[in-house]
Amino acid sequence: MKVFVCIKQVPDTETKIKIRADGNGIDATGIKWVMNPYDEFAVEEAIKMKESGTASAVTAVGLGPKARVSEALRTALAMGADDAIVIDATEDMDSYATAKALAAAIKAEGDGKFILTGKLAIDDNQAAVSQMIAEFLGLPHATVVSKLEYGDNQVTAEREVEGGTREIVQLTLPAVVGANKGLNAPRYASLPGIMKAKKKQIKEIALSALDSNAGELRVKFQDYQLPPEKPPVKVIQGDAAQTAAQLVKLLREEAKVI
């Protein structure tokens, strides 16, 4: 079966974020963009499926400004994906519009029996696109998945639920799965893989060409603010009795948590 992997490009976690002068977004100047970390688990799982013979081919799909998003798709190709699709779109699309466009592109390609995504993107933390893709395609779905087993026309997923327990669900293919940390250990792109990726195809699709009204859906952010500066750390010195008394006083009078 053919496997689709949906990936998103996000700012590197070590990138210093600056707010635009109008307060309506972040200043992209100087930002290092990388593949969303949870999507790396999805890509690795798809490649492992191909290596084991469970999957016949792996296609990576991304949405956004094509010149930039193509870099993340090249990373997926260097890891071992066979080909890729970039949906050229602006950055001002919310989860609903993004999922609708991705679902339309996958449907147009056809013959995809399994779709993998990350459980969420680390930039907006909405954890919504994977579920929406499944809804638009009318497919069963499981997210926060940390273990997968494959059978005849079905997949068994072990997923984390609240309280530290785990839930096991069985999905009939075709299906959509949102990958969580722990599903696997993503590989680094090797030098031969990077060289091969340069020759692999990235199919470009204009958002307006999809059988979807996702291009008409836009979201506008305003009043972006960085989190407040954290106060300096206080070091309490003295013996155990003194430090305990000081700590209680600070928690009561300054932190006001007791």
Q: Is residue 119 part of a domain?
A: yes
Q: Is residue 222 part of a domain?
A: no
Provide the pLDDT for residue 161: 86
> What are the backbone dihedrals phi and psi of residue 168, each rounded to the nearest 5 degrees, phi first?
-115, 125
Q: Is residue 224 part of a domain?
A: no
Q: How far apart are CA 168 and CA 196, in angstroms?
A: 38
Q: Is residue 221 part of a domain?
A: no
CATH of the domain at 37: 3.40.50.620
158 and 255 both lie in a single domain: no
Provide the pLDDT for residue 101: 92
**Which residues make beta-bridge pairs with 106?**
none
Q: What is the pLDDT of residues 193-221, one digit of tens each?
A: 999 998 898 999 988 888 767 666 667 77
Average pLDDT, the chain: 89
Domain containing 200 equals: 2-216
147 and 250 both lie in a single domain: no
**Mean pLDDT computed over 121-139:** 93
Instruction: From residue 34, give the alpha-carbon distance in Å to each of 8, 17, 37, 42.
Output: 8, 14, 8, 15
Number of structural domains found in the chain = 2
244 and 139 both lie in a single domain: no
133 and 246 both lie in a single domain: no
Q: Please check the confidence at residue 107 and state whether its pLDDT lies above 70.
A: yes
Q: How far apart are CA 240 and CA 162, in angstroms?
A: 37
33 and 57 both lie in a single domain: yes
Q: Is residue 38 part of a domain?
A: yes
pLDDT tier for residue 91 given thresholds of 50, 70 and 90: confident
Query: Which run of H or E residues covers position 29?
Result: none
Q: How far apart are CA 174 and CA 124, in angstroms?
A: 28
209 and 241 both lie in a single domain: no
Model-wide pTM > 0.85: no
**Mean pLDDT computed over 235-247:** 89
**Mean pLDDT computed over 91-115:** 89
210 and 246 both lie in a single domain: no
Structure tokens at 211: 């059988």
132 and 173 both lie in a single domain: yes
122 and 160 both lie in a single domain: yes
Provide the pLDDT for residue 50: 94
pLDDT tier for residue 15 given thresholds of 50, 70 and 90: confident
187 and 212 both lie in a single domain: yes
Q: Is residue 151 part of a domain?
A: yes
Find where tokens 């499944």 sit. 134
Q: Is residue 223 part of a domain?
A: no
109 Cβ partners below 8 Å, 6+ apart?
A: 4, 59, 85
Q: Please check the confidence at residue 112 and state whether its pLDDT lies above 80.
A: no
197 and 244 both lie in a single domain: no
Q: What is the pLDDT of residues 62-90, one digit of tens each?
A: 999 988 899 999 999 999 999 999 999 88
Provide the pLDDT for residue 217: 65
205 and 234 both lie in a single domain: no
